[in-house]
C-alpha cells in the first residue's frame, strides 16, 4: 500500500488543523475588511432633512377658488388647495401608496393620484383606491398677501 | 480559401489545441420536428442583445447622465445628430422586441419541458438572464429623464422600499438617497452601462456553454413518438446549416427594427419635473403592466399586510417558484408530460395578458 495515500486519508494532525483555522480566519478577516468599505461606499451619505417648519407656499391672489398649486416643502412636493368654499388646505403631495406626486382634481373636488388611481379628500383622508394612509396635512395661515404653510406641531 | 482556413486551423491547433474547440462547436445538432420553430427565439434574443450593445455604445457618444443634461442630450441626439433618431429608436425598439423574444423563448422552453433533467441549470441561468434583461429595461427607462420615466422610477424603487427589514436600505441604495434625484440617474446609468452588461456577459457565457454541452432538448411528446416508431428522428447540424437560418431571421429582424424606428420613432416626452404632479394616464412599459394593474386593483390592506407589499410578495414568490420549476416538476421525463405544470403556464400567460389588457379598459 502506498504510504502517502494512507496519510492523506487520515484526519489532519491537531497542529495542522490549527494552522488551517488561523490562516483561514485571517484570510476571511482580511476579505471582510476589503469588502466593508465597498459596502459602506454604495450607501450614500445621509442628507439632513430640511428643518424649515414653514414656507410661503403662494400669494393668496395667485389661486382662484377650486384650484391648486404644487410647492416645495423641505425636499418634498406639497399641495396647496383653495377649495370651492374658499378655504386653504395644504397637504403632502407624496402619495402614501407608492409615492407618486398627487394632484387636485377640480372636477371631483378631490385629490387624485394618477399612478394607481388613489383618491383623497381635501383634508388628505384616503377615500378610495390603494392608498393605505391619509396624506399628511399641514397648517395654513394667510399673512397679508402670503399663504404660509407650516408643519403641525 | 478552404486550404487557407485549414492551414490557419492547423497552425492554431499545433499551438493550443484549437481543434478540440472547433470539435466542441461542431457537435451541436438541431433536432427537426414540428416544434423546431421555437429553437429560433433564443438566438433571436441574443441577436437583439448584440444590437443593444452596439446602438448603446453609439448613444454613449452623446448621452450625458446628469439631471440638467440628460433630457437635453437625448433631445440633441434625436434632433441634431445625423441618424441619431434612428440609433435611439432602434435601441428602444430593439429593447422591447428583445424582452418580447426573451419571454417567448422562456415560455416555449417551459411548455416544451426543456428544463427537465439534465437542463435545470440552463433554465436557472436563463431565468437570471431574464431578470437582468428586465433590470436593463427598468434602468434604461430612466435615462432620458422625462416625466414618465421619473414617476416609473419613483414607483418602482418605492416598491423595493416596501420590503420588510431591508426595504429602506434597498431604497437608498437604488436611489442614491431618499428621493429620486440626479444621484439616482447616475446610479441607474452605472447599472445600465457597466454592472448589468458585466452580469449579462457572465450569465450568457454560462447559458451558452450549457446549451452547447447538453445539446438541444427534444420535447417529451416527440421523444415518445420517436420511441414508438411513429416519427423518425431527424436533425441538421447547427453549424453552419441552422446558423444560416438563424441569420436569415436576424437579417429580417434588422429590417423590422429599421422600419419600426422610421415609422414610429421613439418619443421623448416632457422633461422630468420633481415638483409637478404625476400626469394622467401614466403607466410603465408594457412588460410591467400586469404588475402595475395588480397593484392598482389591490386594496390598501390584504389580510394584515399593506396591499402593495402583499402584491410584491406574491410576485416575488411566484418568481422564485418559476426559477425553481425544474426542481419542483420532477415527474416530467422521457415521453411524459406533466399536465399540471402546462396548465400553470397557461394560467401565467392568461393572467399577464388579461391584467395588461385591463389597463386599457
Interface test with A, best of B278, B281, B310 (most A CBs within 10 A): B278
Smallest CA–CA distance from B183 into chain A, residue: A44
Contact B282 A115 (CB under 8 A): yes
Would you list the domain boundaries of chain B? 28-273
Is the pLDDT assigned to residue A127 strictly greater than 50? yes
Measured between beta carbons, the chain A residues lying within 8 angstroms of B183 are: 44
Q: What is the dihedral of CA A90, A95, A99, A101, to 10 degrees?
A: -60
Tell whether the torsion through CA atoms of B224, B226, B227 and B228 is positive or negative: positive
What does the pLDDT look like over B20-38, one tens digit per residue? Answer: 888 888 888 999 999 999 9
* Average pLDDT in chain A: 88
Distance CA B162, CA A80 (A): 28
Q: Which residues of A touch B298 (CB under 8 A)?
A: 130
CA angle in degrees (0–180, nearest 5) for B42-B189-A37: 110
User: Residues A34-75: pLDDT tens digits?
Assistant: 999 988 888 888 877 666 788 998 998 888 999 999 999 988
Q: What are phi and psi of A50, to 5 degrees?
A: -60, 135
pLDDT value, residue B1:
63
- List, in order, residues 6 or more apart from A93 with CB less than 8 Å away: A70, A76, A77, A78, A79, A101, A102, A103, A135, B277
Which chain A residues are within 8 Å of B151, Cβ to Cβ?
Answer: 100-101, 115
Question: In chain B, what is the straight-line distance between the N-terminal and C-terminal CA atoms, in Å?
Answer: 61
Count of positions (residues) in chain A: 153
Q: Are A54 and A71 in contact (CB under 8 A)?
A: no
| Residue of A42, A79, A130 with shortest CB distance to B299 | A130
B168: which chain A residues are within 8 Å (Cβ-Cβ)? Answer: none
From A18's Cα to the closest Cα of chain B, the distance in A is: 37
Alpha helices in chain B (DSSP H): 2-16, 18-26, 40-60, 70-79, 84-111, 120-142, 147-161, 167-175, 182-190, 196-214, 220-227, 243-263, 289-297, 307-323, 325-328, 339-358
Chain B residues touching chain A at CB-CB below 8 Å: 151, 154-155, 158-159, 162, 169, 172-173, 176-179, 183, 274-282, 292, 295-296, 298-301, 306-308
What pLDDT, on the 0 to 100 scale, is given for residue B26?
A: 84
Give me the residue from A42, A100, A129 closest to B278, CB to CB: A100
Q: What is the pLDDT of residue B43?
A: 96
Q: Mark the ranges of chain B whose per-residue pLDDT is less than 70.
A: 1
A71 vs B275: CB contact, 8 Å cut-off? yes
Sheet arrangement for strand A103-105: A103-105, A110-113, A118-120, A126-128
Q: Contact at 8 Å (CB) between A93 and A76?
A: yes
Maximal CA-CA distance, chain B = 74
Q: Which pLDDT value is given to residue A1?
A: 44
Dihedral (CA of A47, A48, A49, A53) sign: negative
Domain spanning B28-273, CATH class: mainly alpha
Q: Which of A43, A100, A130 sits opposite B172 (nearest CB)?
A: A43
* CA dist., res. A45 & res. B64, Å (int): 24
Task: List CB contacts of A89: < 8 A, sequence separation 6 or more.
Answer: A80, A81, A83, A122, A123, A137, A140
Residue B249 to residues A130, B37, B39, B254, Cα–Cα distance (Å): 45, 11, 12, 9
C-alpha cell, B186: 447616475
pLDDT in tens, B76-130: 999 999 999 999 999 999 999 999 999 999 999 999 999 999 999 999 999 999 9
Minimal CA–CA distance to A71: which of A109, A105, A101? A101
Residues from A in contact with B at Cβ < 8 Å: 42-44, 47, 70-72, 75-77, 79, 93, 97-103, 113-117, 126, 129-132
User: pTM for this structure?
Assistant: 0.88
ipTM value > 0.85: no
C-alpha B204/C-alpha B129 separation (Å) is: 7
Amino acid at each position: 500500500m502506498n504510504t502517502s495515500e494512507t496519510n492523506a486519508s487520515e484526519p489532519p494532525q491537531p497542529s495542522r488543523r490549527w494552522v488551517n483555522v488561523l490562516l483561514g480566519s485571517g484570510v476571511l478577516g482580511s476579505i471582510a475588511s476589503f469588502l466593508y468599505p465597498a459596502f459602506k461606499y454604495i450607501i450614500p451619505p445621509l442628507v439632513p432633512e430640511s428643518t424649515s417648519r414653514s414656507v410661503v407656499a403662494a400669494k393668496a391672489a395667485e389661486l382662484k377658488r377650486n384650484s391648486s398649486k404644487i410647492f416645495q416643502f423641505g425636499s418634498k412636493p406639497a399641495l396647496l388647495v383653495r377649495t370651492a368654499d374658499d378655504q386653504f388646505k395644504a397637504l403632502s403631495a407624496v402619495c402614501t401608496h407608492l409615492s407618486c406626486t398627487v394632484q387636485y382634481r377640480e372636477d371631483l373636488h378631490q385629490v387624485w393620484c394618477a399612478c394607481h388611481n388613489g383618491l383623497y379628500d381635501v383634508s388628505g383622508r384616503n377615500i378610495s383606491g390603494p392608498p393605505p394612509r391619509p396624506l399628511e396635512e399641514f397648517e395654513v395661515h394667510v399673512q397679508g398677501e402670503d399663504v404660509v404653510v407650516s408643519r403641525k406641531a | 480559401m478552404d486550404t487557407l482556413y485549414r492551414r490557419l486551423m492547423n497552425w492554431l491547433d499545433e499551438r493550443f489545441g484549437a481543434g478540440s474547440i472547433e470539435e466542441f462547436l461542431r457537435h451541436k445538432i438541431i433536432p427537426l420536428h414540428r416544434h423546431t420553430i421555437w429553437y429560433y427565439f433564443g438566438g433571436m434574443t441574443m441577436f437583439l442583445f448584440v444590437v443593444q450593445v452596439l446602438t448603446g455604445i453609439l448613444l454613449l457618444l452623446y448621452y450625458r447622465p446628469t439631471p440638467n443634461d440628460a433630457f437635453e442630450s437625448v433631445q440633441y441626439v434625436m434632433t441634431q445628430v445625423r441618424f441619431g433618431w434612428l440609433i435611439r429608436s432602434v435601441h428602444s425598439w430593439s429593447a422591447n422586441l428583445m424582452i418580447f423574444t426573451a419571454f417567448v423563448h422562456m415560455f416555449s422552453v417551459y411548455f416544451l419541458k426543456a428544463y427537465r433533467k439534465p437542463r435545470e441549470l440552463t433554465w436557472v441561468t436563463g431565468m437570471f438572464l431574464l431578470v437582468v434583461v428586465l433590470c436593463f429595461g427598468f434602468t434604461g427607462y430612466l435615462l432620458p429623464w422625462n416625466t414618465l420615466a421619473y414617476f416609473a422610477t419613483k414607483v418602482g424603487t418605492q416598491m423595493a422600499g416596501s420590503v420588510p427589514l431591508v426595504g429602506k436600505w434597498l431604497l437608498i441604495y437604488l436611489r442614491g438617497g431618499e428621493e429620486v434625484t440626479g444621484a439616482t440617474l447616475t446610479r441607474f446609468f452605472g447599472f445600465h452601462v457597466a454592472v448589468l452588461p458585466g452580469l449579462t456577459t457572465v450569465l450568457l457565457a454560462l447559458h451558452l456553454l450549457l446549451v452547447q454541452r447538453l445539446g438541444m432538448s427534444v420535447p417529451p411528446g416527440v421523444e415518445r413518438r420517436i420511441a414508438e416508431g411513429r416519427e423518425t428522428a431527424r436533425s441538421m447540424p447547427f453549424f453552419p446549416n441552422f446558423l444560416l437560418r438563424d441569420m436569415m431571421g436576424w437579417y429580417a429582424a434588422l429590417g423590422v427594427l429599421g422600419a419600426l424606428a422610421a415609422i414610429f420613432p421613439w418619443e421623448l416626452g416632457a422633461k422630468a419635473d420633481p415638483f409637478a404632479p404625476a400626469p394622467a394616464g401614466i403607466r410603465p412599459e408594457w412588460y410591467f403592466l400586469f404588475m402595475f394593474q395588480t397593484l392598482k386593483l389591490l386594496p390598501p390592506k390584504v389580510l394584515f399586510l399593506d396591499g402593495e407589499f402583499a402584491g410584491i410578495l406574491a410576485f416575488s414568490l411566484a418568481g422564485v417558484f418559476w426559477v425553481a420549476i425544474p426542481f419542483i416538476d420532477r415527474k416530467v421525463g422521457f415521453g411524459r408530460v406533466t399536465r399540471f405544470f402546462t396548465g400553470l403556464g397557461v394560467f401565467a400567460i392568461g393572467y399577464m395578458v388579461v391584467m395588461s389588457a385591463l389597463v386599457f379598459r
